[in-house]
Amino acid sequence: MSIERALSKARATLDHAPVQAGVDPRWQALIDVGEHMDSSPDEIWEFIEDTRRDADEDLEAALTTVLLEHLVEQHAHIRSKVIALAETDPQIKRMLQGCW
């Protein structure tokens, strides 16, 4: 699956409510996006930036643990952006703290 297809699939699931039992399609879609961590880190960061503001608690946790944590571990140029943004953005600060 291409990064474009994975991002499109993920966006299509964002309005769904979290699943209480079983596989949550939102989390699964983010896992599919994460498969492109090595080849498309900037696209994934843009996706996080675009979706985090309207994210409920569950989706924010998924964005943090499935995507952001690995981005900041593996991509120094994104890590520096996130750390700088965390200085002024409480949500990014909370998400960054959730990574470790």
Q: Tokens 């200085």 correspond to what residue?
A: 87
pLDDT tens-place values along the chain, 100 residues long? 899 999 999 999 988 877 788 788 999 999 999 999 999 999 999 999 999 999 999 999 999 999 999 999 999 999 999 999 999 999 999 999 998 7
Sign of the C-alpha dihedral computed for residues 92, 89, 8 and 62 taken in this order: positive
Q: Domains in the chain: how many in total?
A: 1
Enclosing domain of residue 66: 3-13+24-97
Q: Which pTM was predicted?
A: 0.91
- Within a domain: residue 83? yes
- Within a domain: residue 19? no
- Within a domain: residue 32? yes
- Within a domain: residue 18? no
- Within a domain: residue 34? yes
DSSP 8-state class, residue 17: P
